[in-house]
Amino acid sequence: MAHQFTTSYVKDSLDIFHYYKKLGDRAMAQCPNEGLFTALDAESNSIAIIVKHLAGNMRSRWTDFLTTDGEKPDRNRDTEFEAPPTARAELMELWERGWKCAFDALQPLRDEHLSRTITIRTEPHSVMQAINRQIAHYSYHVGQIVYLARHFAGDKWQTLSVPKKKSAEFNSKVASGELSQR
């Protein structure tokens, strides 16, 4: 995604969410099928569990974002960490459905909405605070997905950012406009 200068918080937030979705997309595309469903140990989450949790969070937080509490009464967070999908197609459908909730809620927002008050678990948040909270949450979990996908892809992994020992070459391409930093 090409970095674009903006003074709109909403536009920048949308760009950041799209960036993290794309990172997750690209990481999971490189992960072998069995790696999507494998946890490193009994206390760790698999990519499938992380995706199920993110999708549940996204549905809860973004459905009726401006008008209802971000923790929906029908959400059972604990079950998000149990019985994930067992097929790549089903997992990716869950991933896409979660992001659709987020983007459908964010796209109509304007900067004038940022000071409105919404609630998450009955706690008041400005719209801007709620967005920041979700950016932090999603980037944390997408980082986990990338880490796990990289582990399971092994030597077939293609970097999603600046390749090791290639910073000078990368910076030169960014300066020339050939590449984007984001």
Q: Tokens for 152, please give them.
A: 């399971």
Quick one: pLDDT band at residue 57, thresholds 50, 70, 90? Answer: very high
**Domain containing residue 25:** 9-176
**Which band of pLDDT confidence, cut at 50, 70 and 90, is reported for residue 163?**
confident
> Does residue 80 form part of some domain?
yes
Stretch 67-79: mean pLDDT, rounded?
96
> What does the alpha-carbon distance between residue 47 and residue 37 come to, in Å, rounded to a whole number?
6
Q: Under a CB-based contact definition with an 8 Å cutoff, are residues 4 and 180 in contact?
A: no
Is residue 4 domain-resident? no
What CATH number is associated with residue 29? 1.20.120.450
Task: Give the per-residue pLDDT at 38.
Answer: 98
Secondary structure (H, E, C), 91-136? HHHHHHHHHHHHHHHHCCCCHHHCCCEEEECCEEEEHHHHHHHHHH
Asked which of 57-61, 71-75, 163-167 is least confident by mean pLDDT, the reply is 163-167
Two structure tokens written together for 2: 């090409």
User: Can you give 1-13 as a three-state secondary structure string?
Assistant: CCCCCCCCHHHHH
pLDDT digits (tens, 9 = 90+) for 129-159: 999 999 999 999 999 999 999 999 999 999 9
Q: At what angle do helices 47-62 and 127-153 cross, to 10 degrees?
A: 160
pLDDT the model gives residue 97: 98
Give residue-wise pLDDT tens across range 121-137: 999 999 999 999 999 99
Residue 181 pLDDT > 60:
no
Structurally, the chain folds into a number of domains equal to 1
